[in-house]
């Protein structure tokens, strides 16, 4: 059953459910009579417009809705009535100025997989406390200390791709690299035995995360649940050892273990484990997707590639032709490469939207967002709006020579729930790019157009490519 895609599972489930629920009353919440709902279509009873969304490029679905109804419209996805918001002002309203009116929401199966105590499932004091711990573990000093370790991981990864001698799935290899960096950020130095066990079981969990949530034996979801249980056991061993040693580390585990609330309470092992898994999850797919897109964009634009490579080669030569490690100052002085990263984040818009749920009836621009409805700020629509980014379909890093308007560029979210690891992500991307551009080259194989969603957008087939080690710096 693993060979069935998530989409096929979804369609089978929805069609079956449609027959069972055809005659049932639609349980969409009734709006207050004093305000009207946003324009839009709710689709079929219960199913809504789920099939339309999942049977085409979701960007077409969202952009067509915006063209037809404007910046705020309603729909029904997976049995949930939704309000979608496609403007910077609307996104700020939900994520920043009125964040207390909208709680983070995820499907129950996702919470089960990662762990209900993970940071991004909460709001209020618990969320604030955990977020501070994550931010403190990724402060400026900690990131500086991680540079040589990330550089070692980057060189090792690139060497392995070149040594393979065959076509690799770039996205899958980038996921492995991002996971290794996540391990460094969470645990610092970790015994290789523990690291391999975590990687093995996380890989199984990752494969089942977006599968259809059935517990039937042999399914990807069932295997993922078993792997989740093993991950908890492994993390329990690591936590116990760290507590017994009573050594205060500056990594995330150290911060979680050292936490005391205002009453002297500590975090439980389940809370620590859930947040470790949550951080590893957040650190992997999104960063890997962006790295894959960057290689694609550079491959497709030779002039830009040469300009970015020239910037990196200047640093390479100043470091004795790569004999010295990268310094913090050098990483912070890569203006063109940094703009390429930002433009890749905008163009790819890995996080196309985010889920919130109205905790009370909310009015926005004369429309009602009823309590219990899902609310989805559409980052991709905002990033691709000509109102904020002229000629948005053109890859143009120079647009970031001037900072974008507030609330128009949100690759890591916005407000209190924005990604606290965004600086780590940019750091590992810049370090890997430096070594790929100065010591290696790559050739994309097969189709060079098309996008697939799983759920994050990546070049078709994960950007199959061959990597080669350059024999001289001038090649």
Write out the binding residues for heme.
419
Distance between CA atoms of 105 and 111, rounded to whole angstroms?
9
Residue with tokens 């079981």: 201
End-to-end CA distance of the chain: 47
Query: In terms of Cα–Cα distance, which of 446, 461, 435, 444 is closest to 299?
Result: 444
Please state, in angstroms and rounded to a whole number, the distance separating the CA atoms of residues 122 and 127. 5
Structure tokens belonging to residue 65: 């809705």
Q: Which helix (H) or strand (E) holds 77?
A: strand 72-77
Tokens standing for 49?
């417009």
Which residue in this structure is represented by tokens 């499907």? 107
Q: What is the number of other CB atoms lying within 10 angstroms of the CB of residue 209?
A: 20
What are the structure tokens assigned to 158, written together? 């690139």
372's tokens: 């219990």
Contact 354, 413 (CB under 8 A): yes
44: helix, coil or strand? strand
Quick one: which of 465, 457, 454 has its CA closest to 206?
454
| Cβ within 8 Å of residue 157, ≥6 positions away | 173, 176, 177, 180, 432
- Asked if residue 359 lies in contact with residue 101, where contact means CB atoms within 8 angstroms, the answer is yes
- Those residues with Cβ within 8 angstroms of residue 227's Cβ, 6 or more apart along the chain or in another chain: 201, 202, 203, 204, 205, 208
Residues 439 and 226: their CA atoms lie apart, in Å, by 41
Q: Please, is 125 exposed, middle or buried when counting C-beta atoms within 10 Å of its C-beta (0-12, 13-18, 19+)?
A: exposed
Distance (Å, whole) CA 159 – CA 180? 15
Rounded Cα–Cα distance for residues 89 and 72 (Å): 11
Q: Let me know: does 115 contact 273? Beta carbons within 8 Å.
A: yes
Pairing of strands 72-77, 80-85: antiparallel
Binding residues: 419
Distance CA 311, CA 327 (A): 15
Do strands 80-85 and 464-469 pair parallel, antiparallel, or not at all (unpaired)? unpaired
């Amino acid at each position: 059953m693993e060979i069935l895609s998530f989409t096929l599972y979804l369609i089978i489930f929805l069609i079956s459910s449609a027959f069972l629920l055809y005659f049932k009353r639609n349980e969409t919440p009734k709006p207050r009579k004093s305000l009207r709902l946003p324009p839009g279509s709710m689709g079929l009873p219960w199913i809504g417009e789920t099939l339309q969304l999942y049977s085409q490029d979701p960007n077409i679905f969202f952009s067509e809705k915006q063209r037809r109804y404007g910046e705020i419209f309603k729909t029904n996805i997976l049995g949930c009535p939704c309000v979608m918001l496609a403007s910077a002002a609307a996104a700020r309203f939900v994520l920043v100025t009125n964040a207390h009116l909208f709680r983070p929401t995820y499907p129950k199966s996702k919470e089960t997989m990662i762990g209900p105590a993970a940071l991004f499932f909460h709001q209020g004091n618990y969320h604030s406390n955990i977020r501070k711990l994550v931010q403190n573990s990724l402060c400026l000093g900690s990131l500086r200390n991680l540079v040589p370790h990330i550089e070692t991981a980057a060189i090792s990864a690139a060497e392995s791709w070149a040594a393979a001698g065959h076509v690799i799935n770039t996205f899958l290899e980038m996921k492995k690299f991002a996971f290794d960096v996540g391990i460094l950020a969470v645990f610092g130095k970790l015994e290789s035995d523990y690291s391999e066990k975590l990687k093995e079981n996380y890989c199984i969990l990752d494969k089942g995360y977006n599968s259809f949530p059935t517990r039937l034996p042999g399914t990807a979801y069932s295997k993922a649940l078993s792997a989740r249980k093993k991950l908890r056991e492994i993390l329990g061993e690591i936590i116990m050892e760290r507590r017994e040693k009573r050594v205060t580390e500056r990594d995330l585990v150290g911060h979680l273990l050292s936490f005391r609330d205002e009453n002297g309470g500590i975090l439980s092992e389940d809370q620590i484990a859930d947040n470790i898994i949550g951080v590893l999850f957040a650190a992997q797919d999104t960063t890997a997707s962006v790295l894959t897109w960057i290689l694609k964009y550079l491959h497709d634009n030779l002039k830009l590639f040469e300009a970015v490579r020239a910037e990196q080669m200047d640093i390479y030569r100043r470091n004795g032709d790569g004999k010295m490690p990268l310094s913090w100052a050098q990483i912070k002085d890569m203006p063109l490469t940094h703009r390429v990263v930002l433009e890749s984040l905008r163009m790819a818009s890995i996080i196309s939207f985010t889920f919130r749920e109205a905790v009370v009836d909310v009015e926005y621009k004369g429309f009602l967002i009823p309590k219990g409805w899902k609310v989805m700020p559409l980052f991709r629509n905002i990033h691709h709006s000509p109102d904020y980014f002229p000629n948005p379909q053109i890859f143009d890093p120079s647009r970031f020579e001037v900072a974008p308007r507030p609330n128009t560029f949100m690759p890591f979210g916005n407000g209190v729930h924005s990604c606290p690891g965004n600086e780590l992500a940019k750091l590992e991307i810049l370090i890997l790019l430096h070594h790929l551009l100065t010591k290696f080259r790559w050739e994309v194989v097969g189709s060079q157009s098309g996008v697939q969603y799983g759920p994050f957008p990546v070049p078709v087939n994960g950007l199959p490519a061959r990597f080669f080690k350059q024999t001289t710096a001038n090649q």
